[in-house]
Amino acid sequence: MDIFCIIDEMASQGVVTIIIFKEEKVDIKNKIAVVTGASSGIGKAVSKKLAELGANVVLAARNHSQLDQVKVEIENSGGKAIVVPTDITQNDDVVKLIKKTISEFGKIDILVNNAYWGPAGSLEKTTKEFWDKTIDTTLKGHFLCIRTAVPYMRKAGGGRIVNIGSLAGKVGEDNRTAYCAAKWGLEGLTAALREELTRDNIHVHLISPAATNTPPWHSSGIKLTPEMLTRFIPPESIADAVAFVIQQPDQVHIPDVPVYNFRNPFEGKSSPFAD
Active-site amino acid positions: 179
Taken in order 4, 207, 253, 54, is the CA torsion positive or negative?
negative
- Residues 6 or more apart whose CB falls under 8 angstroms from that of 42 comprise 114, 164, 209, 212, 214, 235, 238, 239
Residue 214 amino acid letter: T
Closest CA to 233 of 201, 204, 266, 260: 260
DSSP state of 23: P
Closest CA to 146 of 104, 187, 193, 93: 193
> In a 3-state reduction of DSSP, which class is residue 66?
helix
Alpha helices in 31-140 (DSSP H): 41-52, 64-76, 91-105, 128-135
Are residues 165 and 183 in contact, defined by beta-carbon separation less than 8 angstroms?
A: yes
DSSP state string for 154-166? HHHT-EEEEEE--
Radius of gyration of the chain (CA): 20
DSSP state of 213: -
User: Taking the CA of residue 59 as centre, how many other CA atoms within 13 Å lie in the half-sphere pointing to its CB?
Assistant: 33
